[in-house]
Chain A
């Protein structure tokens, strides 16, 4: 069964450093989401792509976060500089068309620890 892939699975960095996370959605899924999940809470949407275009990045802290999906397939989320409060699980998800009823499939996540 096809799954969403993410790397790295774990990342430890010092504050003020740059970090990058990679996501490869399920083949054929046009919509890609990046979520942040703080320990003990539900996922919160950071950015949504439809193909290579950003649909919504209203919750993305744009002073330090950036996301791209250049060819409409895999995606990269970057944080520069990282802050202590960025420690969280970063989840990527994909769905077929982004319609109301399309299931979102999640990747295993990247757990970020900022020291």
Chain B
């Protein structure tokens, strides 16, 4: 089955700096890669996703890049703000499956 590795597990940045979280996946047929944000005690919420026919997608301060050859994708957050502090999960949808396999998460702390 699909295996998703996520790094780093924790990340601290100063307010205004950029943050990058990286994920690798094992199934070359995977074609859907969402990112979820989970604040303490709250439900995971989708913040951005990318399909395998696209190399990059942006939404205001958030962007995701996908390298199908290397089987990795990354989340980029620019001009970080304290409210960006949360745990971020990447996920991948494997071939022939509607299911998501999640990474172990990255705890992002934005220091004011």
Contacts and interface: CB of A to CB of B under 8 A. Distances in A.
Contacts of A14: none
Given A100-B32, A103-B49, A91 B43 contact: yes
Interface residues of A, number: 26
Given A91-B44, A100-B93, A101-B51, A48 B99 contact: yes
A43 interface: yes
B99 A40 contact: no
B89 interface: yes
A40 B4 CA distance: 15
A85 interface: no
B49 A45 contact: no
B104 A99 contact: no
A40 B104 contact: yes
A107 B100 contact: no
A104 B98 CA distance: 10
